[in-house]
Amino acid sequence: MRVDWTRADFVNRRLPAWMGWAVLGVAGAASAGVAWEIERRSEVLAALELRLTHQVALRTVSDAPMADRAVVETDLALRRGLGIQWQPVFSAIEAPGPVGVVLLAVEPDAAAGTVRLAIQAPDLAVGAAYLTYLNAAGLQQARLVSHQALDPSTPGGPVRLAVQAKWSPYGP
């Protein structure tokens, strides 16, 4: 059975008139659904904005009702974290210090106002020079917490140091 495709007419078919009305009705229902969802979400966003405005107005945890205390405590912790001035401590740590000192790790603790550093130095004397450098660079009470010789068989060889210093997280 052979089909003559030249006689096939795909374009000139007419759909019944009710199909056009059905498509128009479905499109109208979909548009109404989208409009309803937008309205519902705008009400949710307005309620969220009102709640956030109320939380910002509360300055302390004691001002908040019992149900909101956990939310306010979280908000205050976040504000404290955002108010920390990180640039001075990182500038002091990352600026070039004594030759041969390699910074391995930085662990700032904003709550305690301390920063813990892991460094590697060619010898213990250079590590001590880095401590005095940190004190001069703006950190306070830089002290050696622990040290470890990388090659215990060679005295005066490279060492790995744990250093702790105080800093003011919220500026001077």
pLDDT digits (tens, 9 = 90+) for 31-80: 999 999 998 888 888 888 877 776 665 555 555 556 566 777 777 776 66
What local confidence, expressed as pLDDT, does residue 30 receive?
Answer: 95
Q: Is the pTM of this model over 0.85?
A: no
Q: Given the DSSP bridges, would you call strands 102-109 and 114-121 parallel, antiparallel or unpaired?
A: antiparallel
pLDDT tens digit sequence for 115-149: 899 999 998 888 889 888 888 887 888 888 888 88
Nearest to 80 by CA among 52, 107, 57, 109: 109
Torsion of CA 74, 76, 78, 82, to 10 degrees: 180
